[in-house]
Amino acid sequence: MKAHIIERKARHSIILVWLFSFAIASPLLVFRKLHQRQWKNHLEQWCDDKWPLVFKYISLELGVPVYHQPARKIYWTTLSVVLFLIPILVMAIAYTRIIKTLWAAKTPGERVPKDITVQTRMKRKIVLTLVLIMIVFAVCWVPIQFTILYAEYKPEKNLQLEQWYTQLSFFAHVLAFANSSINPMIYAGFNDNFKKGFKQMFGLYKKRYTSVSRLDDSSTTVVTSLSKGRIFKEESSFTLNGKTRDAWNGSAQACSKMAIYEELNNLVCSSSDNGM
Domain layout of the chain by residue ranges? 51-199, 206-275
> According to DSSP H, which parts of 154-246 are helical?
163-190, 192-201
Q: Which residues are within 8 A (CB) of 194 and not within 5 positions of it... i.e. 6 or more apart?
A: 184, 187, 188
Q: What is the pLDDT along the chain (276 residues), one digit of tens a residue?
A: 555 667 778 888 899 989 998 999 999 999 988 888 888 898 988 888 888 888 888 877 777 887 888 899 999 999 999 999 999 999 999 999 988 888 887 766 555 666 667 777 888 888 888 899 999 999 999 999 999 999 888 876 656 678 888 889 999 999 999 998 898 888 877 777 777 777 787 776 665 544 444 444 444 444 444 444 444 444 444 444 444 444 444 444 444 444 544 554 454 444 444 444
Rounded Cα gap, residues 224 and 265, in angstroms: 12
- Residue 87: which residues within 8 A CB-CB, separation 6 or more? 137
Q: Residue 245 and residue 250: Cα distance in Å, rounded? A: 10
Q: Which CATH superfamily is domain 51-199 in?
A: Rhodopsin 7-helix transmembrane proteins (1.20.1070.10)
Given this model, what pLDDT does residue 116 score?
66
Three-state DSSP at 195 gives helix
Specify whether the CB–CB gap between 141 and 98 falls below 8 A.
Answer: no
Q: pLDDT value at position 65?
A: 84
The Cα–Cα gap between 65 and 241 comes to: 92
Dist. CA 221–CA 237, nearest whole Å: 6
Residue 235: predicted pLDDT: 44
Coil vs helix vs strand at 55: strand
Asked whether the beta carbons of 43 and 37 are under 8 A apart, the reply is yes
The predicted pLDDT at position 221 comes to 45
The model carries a pTM of: 0.61
- Cα distances (angstroms) measured from residue 193 to each of 12, 105, 120, 127: 26, 22, 18, 16
Q: Which helix (H) or strand (E) segment is 118 a member of?
A: helix 113-153
* Rounded-to-integer distance, Cα 114 and Cα 201, Å: 33
- Report the pLDDT value the prediction gives residue 135, as an integer from 0 to 100: 94
pLDDT of residue 157: 60
* Amino acid, single-letter form, for residue 39: W
